[in-house]
Amino acid sequence: MNTDSLRYAGFGPRLASLLLDFFVTLPLGALALWGTSSFRLFDLYFLIPITLFELFYYVYLVRRYGGTPGKLLAGIVIRKVDGTPVGYREAFLRFSVTFVFSLLTSMTLLFPLLQMTDAEYFSLSFMERGKRMIELAPLWYTPLNWAQTVWFWSELIVLLTNKKRRALHDFIAGTVVVYASPSPETALKPDPALQGG
């Protein structure tokens, strides 16, 4: 594929796609909020279903359609750096670091839930419960949280400082995020490889 026809999506469209994905997955977030306010061990039982959903949403859909629903609604898609569609390898690698951080954080916060009683859990407000869970979390929770914060800001800095607007996860996976349709100027140009003579 001619990479000259690719139009790289910058910060704005990518932010828009994140916000759209947030709204698409909002019912699931509402379910999780209801569950954690109603059942102390909800997160324990929800861990496997939410993990499978994340793999479906951020790996399968990316491989199948070239992006999450938010990206597709924003008019952008994920491609390999040569412009060809991504496979499962690239889709998983793009999501791998976020997936590991998400899984480790979720597993780490199960420890406090198992230490608390129902009486203590439900006697606390939402904010108090969060503070208490951090107090009871294993020692590695704080460095894990720092590492996740460093990753987030590194992603943003890298995205804003290269011409193709690739984030760190794009470099890991060998991908770019581009507009779904080429620019009118490049779309009208004939492909030199197809011309004779």
- Please give the chain's pLDDT, 197 residues, in tens: 556 678 999 999 999 999 999 999 999 999 999 999 999 999 999 999 999 999 999 999 999 999 999 999 999 999 999 999 999 999 999 999 999 999 999 999 999 999 999 999 999 999 999 999 999 999 999 999 999 999 999 999 999 999 999 999 999 999 999 999 865 554 444 444 444 44
The answer to whether position 135 is within a domain reads yes
Rounded Cα gap, residues 132 and 70, in angstroms: 34
The answer to whether position 186 is within a domain reads no
The answer for residues whose C-beta is within 8 angstroms of residue 11's C-beta and 6 or more apart is 159, 160, 165
Q: What is the number of domains present in the chain? A: 1
Q: What is the pTM of this model?
A: 0.86
**What are the backbone dihedrals phi and psi of residue 183, each rounded to the nearest 5 degrees, phi first?**
-65, 150
Question: Residue 54: which domain range?
Answer: 3-180
